[in-house]
């Protein structure tokens, strides 16, 4: 079933919900295959009540929904949860300073991976300090909402990982096509 490709998260309370690694894992799990509370609890090694708590919070925030319901064993109605979008991107500027630090760490790690691949492909050493890496990651975090807006009305069935790679690649290309980062990648137009 097609769903929105990207949902931009601008509400600080919802951004805070997404900062929880367990909730992000729940979303990741149900993106490829809708699952019940029981299935998620088993996979994530959580109690059913803890799983329901997280599902309730995600549902109230509009990040997940019940995709379908089926009568299961013993006549119990089982709800299958799925995300409302394939990918959620938080508006970095609207997050609290504490959450910005959390998300910045994720952006730094993703950027390290991208730079490692670039270095491997280009066969040129990229010299960057930890301060520069942090600054570059922060600029990418600020660019992501703008790039995500291009995909906001798109519907998709495709792999969320491919979409995330595409959006990060566009952010990096936008970043290095101008300003002080252009010198790090002189061969990219």
DSSP string, 97-148: HHHHHHHHHHHHHHHHHHHHHHHHHHT------HHHHHHHHHHHHHHHHHHH
Query: Rounded to 10 degrees, what is the CA torsion of 118, 120, 125, 126?
Result: 20
Please list the ranges in the chain whose pLDDT falls under 70.
1-2, 156-158, 184-189
Residue 44, token pair as written in the block:
């994530």
Find all residues with CB under 8 Å of 24, minimum gap 6, and list them.
Answer: 18
Number of Cα atoms under 13 Å in the Cβ half of residue 158: 12
Work out the number of other CB atoms within 10 angstroms of the CB of residue 28: 12
d(CA 33, CA 159): 11
Predicted local distance difference test score (pLDDT) of residue 184: 67
Q: Could you report the per-residue pLDDT of 49-86, keeping only the tens digit for each?
A: 999 999 999 999 999 999 999 887 788 889 999 999 99
* Dihedral of alpha carbons 152, 62, 172, 166, sign: negative
Predicted local distance difference test score (pLDDT) of residue 125: 79
Mean pLDDT of the chain: 89
CA distances from 94 to 103, 142, 165, 177 (A): 12, 10, 23, 25
Helix (H) or strand (E) holding 37, with range, is helix 37-44
Find all residues with CB under 8 Å of 107, minimum gap 6, and list them.
Answer: 137, 138, 140, 141
Predicted local distance difference test score (pLDDT) of residue 121: 84
Predicted local distance difference test score (pLDDT) of residue 64: 97
């Amino acid at each position: 079933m097609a769903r929105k490709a990207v949902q931009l998260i601008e509400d600080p309370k919802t951004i805070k919900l997404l900062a929880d690694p367990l909730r992000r894992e729940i979303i990741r799990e149900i993106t490829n295959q809708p699952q019940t509370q029981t299935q998620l609890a088993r996979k994530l090694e959580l109690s059913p009540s803890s799983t329901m708590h997280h599902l309730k919070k995600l549902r109230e925030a509009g990040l997940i929904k019940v995709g379908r319901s089926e009568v299961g064993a013993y006549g119990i109605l089982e709800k299958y949860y799925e995300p409302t979008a394939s990918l959620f991107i938080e508006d970095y500027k609207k997050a609290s300073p504490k959450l910005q630090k959390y998300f910045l760490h994720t952006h730094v790690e993703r950027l390290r991976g991208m730079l490692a691949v670039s270095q491997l492909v280009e066969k040129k050493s990229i010299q960057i300090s930890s301060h520069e890496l942090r600054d570059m990651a922060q600029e990418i975090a600020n660019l992501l909402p703008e790039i995500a807006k291009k995909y906001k009305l798109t519907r998709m069935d495709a792999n969320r990982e491919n979409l995330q790679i595409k959006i990060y690649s566009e952010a990096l290309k936008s970043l290095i096509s101008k300003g002080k980062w252009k010198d790090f990648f002189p061969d990219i137009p």
